[in-house]
Amino acid sequence: MSLHVAVLRGDGIGPEVTEEAIRVLKALSLDFTFEEALVGGAAYDATGHPLPPETLALCQKADAVLFGAVGGPQWDRVEPATLRPEVGALLPLRRELELYANVRPAKTLRSLMMASPLKGENGLIDLVVMRELTGGIYFGQPRERRNDGELAVDTCLYSKSEVRRIALQAVKIARNRRREVTSVDKANVLETSRLWREVVDQVAAENPDVKFTHMLVDNCAMQLVRNPKQFDVILTENMFGDILSDEASMITGSLGLLPSASLSDPRGNKVFGLYEPIHGSAPDIAGQGRANPIAAILSAAMMMEYTFDQAPAGRKIEAAVEKVLDSGLRTADIFEPGTKLVSTSEMGQAVATAVAAD
Ligand code: NAD
């Protein structure tokens, strides 16, 4: 059966890096259908809205979304602000598609190991942060959110079902890895964390093949610097995940190479997800062939693993990226003396060739 992918290239370097991700996917020789739609500033210019209804409709019927990036200075002053690309496209997409599980792998590429601020073997990490994306203090109860000048209030809310569904996503991901989940909370202080822990314990009992442990968030922040290799899957709520995923990303030393997935509930037998590089639209280098396409390519690898349940195909793409970097090819952002400078499309072509040869 055909693997149906909605392609939302977006703005700036989004189209360039997405092109290379598609090139690499095609090298897998599987039966893909790629369907394109406008998003972000490009959609605003063409239709007057950064997320046209036909774009959302395409995402709703596809198995997965491959997303580039949106935004740029030419749309920063669009009024009303709700029509600006990030606010008018990204946030509604996440909400409408119920993308509640944000998955951010942080894996050091061996050939870029010296870029890690943690020198030596300690900087060689391979972990995933699974962050709850649609609940917690960032959403809370809008009616209770206030600031009267002297006193400001945000509320943190979690329901059992919200915790359960993300804990189950963590189980699924851990099964393709070392089968270890560290659930991170602040259960010594917060009621929401105590509920979180209770539900995670239930999920752990139902899935004994995956080892669960609990860790307090302050300890986790410290352990990530002290001994990050101990982690396989870090499962945590929205705000803790926001902070810890950035901390983990920096350990790899290469923020611009990192992919992400935002997952929803399964549609039929497939987990629906939106896959995108963690970087933005980089308007400063757009259209110059200088963008590094690896984050987009690795996002496509995540799509193979999580939505299409083809972890070997995902690993094949990752291995191809490592091979190409080991051979010394570098885009401008990671260039160092002694390596060979290549363009966005040359890097994509090299990875695609390595995938096809595998
Ligand atoms: P950015 O990630 O676009 O760029 C930061 C710096 O990193 C720039 O110097 C850029 O040239 C460089 N860079 C980023 N990706 C790169 C790549 N693949 N290869 C080489 N260099 C790369 O962040 P920013 O400058 O803060 O934001 C630019 C625009 O992107 C803004 O409009 C912002 O709102 C938007 N943005 C969008 C998303 C998204 O679509 N998910 C995420 C973040 C920012």
Ligand 1 center to 281 CA (angstroms): 4
Domain presence at residue 155: yes
The answer to whether residue 338 sits within a structural domain is yes
Average pLDDT of the segment spanning 221-236: 96
**Sign of torsion over alpha carbons 223, 228, 232, 234:** positive
Give the number of domains in the chain: 2
**Ligand 1 neighbours (beta carbon < 6 A):** 13, 17, 69-72, 86, 90, 256, 276, 279-285, 291-292, 295, 333
Report which ligand 1 atom has the smallest distance to the Cα of 72.
32
Of 18, 246, 279, best ligand 1 pocket probe by most atoms within 8 Å of the beta carbon: 279
Q: Give the domain extent around 346.
A: 1-100+258-358
d(CA 216, CA 296): 32
Instruction: List, for residues 96-153, the tens digit of each pLDDT value.
Output: 999 999 999 999 887 887 777 777 777 788 999 999 998 999 887 777 788 899 999 9
**CA quadruple 37, 41, 47, 49: dihedral, nearest 10:** 100
Q: Atom 5 of ligand 1 has which residue's CA nearest to it?
A: 282
CA distance 88 to 105: 27
Whether 191 is covered by a domain: the verdict is: yes
**Whether residue 144 is found in the same domain as residue 226:** yes
Q: Is residue 106 part of a domain?
A: no
Using CA positions, which residue lies closest to atom 8 of ligand 1? 282
Smallest CA separation from ligand 1 atom 40, residue: 69
Q: Single out the residue in 226, 251, 276 at which a domain terminates.
A: 251
Q: Are residues 226 and 262 in the same domain?
A: no
Residues 79 and 204 in one domain: no
CATH number of the domain residue 247 falls in: 3.40.718.10
Q: What integer pLDDT is reported at residue 95 of this predicted model?
A: 85
Tell me, yes or no, whether 175 and 219 share the same domain.
Answer: yes
CA of 11 to the centre of ligand 1 (A): 10
pLDDT in tens, 9-41: 999 999 999 999 999 999 999 999 999 999 999
Q: Is residue 166 part of a domain?
A: yes
